[in-house]
Amino acid sequence: MTELLQNAGQISQWERVVREENPDWDAVYRGYRATVDWPGAHFWRQLSEHFPHAKVILTVRDPRRWYESARESIYQASVGPAPADPGLALMRQVVQEIVWDGEFDGRFDDARHAIRMFEQHNEAVRREIPADRLLVFEITQGWRPLCEFLGVPVPDEPFPHGNDRQSFAELRRRLSSGDPEQA
C-alpha cells in the first residue's frame, strides 16, 4: 500500500482494476516483480492464474491480534474525516471498495465476521495454491524459510518489522502533514 502513497499513477490504475472485468495484469505489474499486501492481495486468484509460475507467500498470524492491529491502524485511516488531498481521497475510496467492502462485506466493525473472513481467506489460499508454489509464513520465522523458498541468500541483517501499528501511525502522521512523498 505504501507504493500507492508514493506513486499517484498507481492509485488511478488500481481504480481501473476495480472496475474492469479482465484487467491487464501485465500492464499493472510492468516494472514490478512482486506484490505485497492490498490491493494486490485481493486479486490473489486472478494473479496466481495469470502468473502461473509466481510463488505465493501467505503470511499468517493470530487472527484476533491481526484484527486488533488492522482495526487500530489501517481501518482508522478509512473511517475518519476524508483527506483533502485528491490523490489520498481516491486512494481511500479504492481501499474502501477493495478491502472493507470487497474483503469484509462492509462489516469490518464486526470482529467475528472480519476474523471469519480472514480465516476463510487463509484456508482458500492454502487449498487452492499448489504446495510447490506456496509458503505459509509467520514473520517470527525470520529470513531463512522465506529466502529458501525464494531461492535467494539469507541477508546478514535483522529481519525488518515495518508493517506494524507504530509504523502505520508514523505514516499517517507524515500524510497528515500534507507530504505524501515522505510516506
User: What is the per-residue pLDDT across 20-79, written as a single tens digit (0 to 9) for each?
Assistant: 888 999 999 999 999 998 888 999 999 999 999 999 999 999 999 999 999 988 888 788
Does a structural domain hold residue 171? no
Position 169 scores a pLDDT of 59
Assess whether the previous peptide bond of 153 is cis (omega < 30° from 0): no
Range of the domain at 126: 2-155
Position 183 scores a pLDDT of 47
> Would you say residue 167 has pLDDT above 80?
no
Give the C-alpha separation, 158 to 80, whole Å. 35
Does a structural domain hold residue 48? yes
Confidence bin at 88 (pLDDT 50/70/90): confident
Stronger pLDDT, 85 or 16, i.e. the higher one: 16
Give the C-alpha separation, 66 to 80, whole Å. 21
Give the C-alpha separation, 178 to 172, whole Å. 10
Give the C-alpha separation, 46 to 26, whole Å. 12
Give the C-alpha separation, 3 to 7, whole Å. 6
Q: What angle do CA 116, 120, 122 make, to 5 degrees?
A: 120
Q: What is the CATH number of the domain that holds 27?
A: 3.40.50.300
The number of angstroms, rounded, from the C-alpha of 128 to the middle of its chain's C-alpha atoms is: 19
Confidence bin at 13 (pLDDT 50/70/90): confident
Say how many domains are in the chain.
1
Does a structural domain hold residue 36? yes
Does a structural domain hold residue 28? yes
Give the C-alpha separation, 42 to 63, whole Å. 18
How much is the mean pLDDT over the chain?
Answer: 86
Does a structural domain hold residue 33? yes
Does a structural domain hold residue 99? yes
Write down the pTM of the prediction. 0.82
Dig out the grid coordinates for 149 from the structure: 523458498
Does a structural domain hold residue 44? yes
Does a structural domain hold residue 177? no
Position 144 scores a pLDDT of 97
